[in-house]
Structure 1
Amino acid sequence: MKVLLLLAKGFETMEFSVFIDVFGWARNDYGMDVNVETCGFKKTVVSTFHVPIIADKTIAEISMNEYDALAIPGGFEEFGFYEEAFDERFLDIIRQFHGQGKPIATICVAALSLGKSGILAGRKATTYHLGDGHRQKQLAEFGVQVVNEPIVIDNNMITSYCPATAAGVAFRLLEVLTNTEQMRIVKEAMGF
């Protein structure tokens, strides 16, 4: 199985790395057939706080049929996250995964990309919840039933409301792609 880890510039490093680590432990320590491939608009994607990551592929190089699931970390507006996360090419990838019924996992404000793509209309989801609730209000404007809970699952979509939920989202996606027992083995081995 292969997960596409889709990166918009300004993505949050902690929300990115959790997918690499959880699926890495599953594959390397427990022989689970789960791989992660990173992807961005450019080969080098600069994250929040200016950490560059070299992506495995660019958006132009990917074929949706190669992947079993999509994962998207959130990011910071101040670092240009929404410039790419709201780009039509980014949104089209989301729509294609959704159209094929494949699991989609987002952390924090990455749910706003799902909302903007139109796939969350009438569905339950969550996004960043602190401060004045601005991001949850923004998500609701896309016709989403916003649920103020750490992780919300609606059919094939997993959304969450802040960086603290990152590991939980990665474990839920692992569970969807393998099974509950295998996910628990990895979770316990990682000390969660």
Structure 2
Amino acid sequence: MRLLVFLAKGFETIEFSAFIDVMGWAKTDFDCDIETVICGLNSKVVGSFNVSVLVDKTIEEVSADDYDALAIPGGFEEFGFYEEAYNEKLLDLIRQFNSQKKWIATVCVGALPVGKSGVLTGRRATTYHLRGAHKQKVLQEFGVTIVNEPIVVDDNIITSYCPQTSYGVALLLLEKLTSFREMTLVKEAMGF
């Protein structure tokens, strides 16, 4: 199994690290065959609160054909998240994963580029729900039926509504890529 985690500028650290931690525990402690590859538009991505990550591959070096799932953490507008999250290269990559019915998992506003790509039109999803639910209204403008629940699954797409859901999304994605049993082992080992 190969998971591609896309980081846009201004990504939220906890939303990114949940995927790394969960998949890392699964691989290291439970021999799950999952390789996690970090991707960005550039070789170095500066996230919210000036956390820098050197990615494994730039977006030009990846294809949906080579991965089983795509994860997109959300981020902060104040740190330039939408400058890269709405980049056409990412939107096209999202469309490729969706056309192959591969898992796409997002946390918080990571759902917005998925909405903008068009693959959520007429489908159920959620995104950041606090501060007047402004981000949910933006997602709705992309033709999405908003479900105000912590985690929403519609076919091959997982969305969630705030940073607190990060580990829930990562564990659910692990379950979809492996099994309920494997996910439960990892969840219990991590103390959830």
Q: Same fold (TM over 0.5)?
A: yes
User: Counterparts in 2 of 1:1-192, with a 5 A limit?
Assistant: 1-192=1-192
Mapped partners of 1:95, 1:121: distance in 2: 12
2:11–2:47 CA contact under 8 A, matched in 1 = yes
Q: Which amino acid aligns with 1:156?
A: N
The alpha carbon displacement at 1:66 in A equals 1.2
Mapped partners of 2:129, 2:105: distance in 1: 17
2:63–2:93 CA contact under 8 A, matched in 1 = no
The number of aligned residues is: 192
Mapped partners of 1:133, 1:101: distance in 2: 29
The alpha carbon displacement at 1:61 in A equals 1.1
Q: Which amino acid aligns with 1:48?
A: S
Query: Kindly, what percent of the aligned residue pairs are identical?
Result: 62
The alpha carbon displacement at 1:153 in A equals 0.3
Mapped partners of 2:49, 2:155: distance in 1: 33
Q: Which amino acid aligns with 1:167?
A: Y
Mapped partners of 1:20, 1:58: distance in 2: 18
The alpha carbon displacement at 1:129 in A equals 0.2
Tell me the C-alpha RMSD between the 2 structures: 0.5
Q: Which amino acid aligns with 1:136?
A: Q
The alpha carbon displacement at 1:96 in A equals 0.4
2:42–2:58 CA contact under 8 A, matched in 1 = yes
Relative to structure 2, which stretch is displaced further, 59-68 or 146-155?
59-68
SS of match in other structure, 2:23: helix
SS of match in other structure, 1:149: coil
Mapped partners of 1:191, 1:171: distance in 2: 12
Using the size of structure 1 for normalisation, the TM-score is: 0.99
The alpha carbon displacement at 1:108 in A equals 0.1
Gap runs ≥5 in structure 2: none
SS of match in other structure, 1:133: helix
Mapped partners of 1:162, 1:148: distance in 2: 11
Mapped partners of 2:25, 2:135: distance in 1: 32
Query: Segments of 4+ in structure 1 off by > 4 A?
Result: none
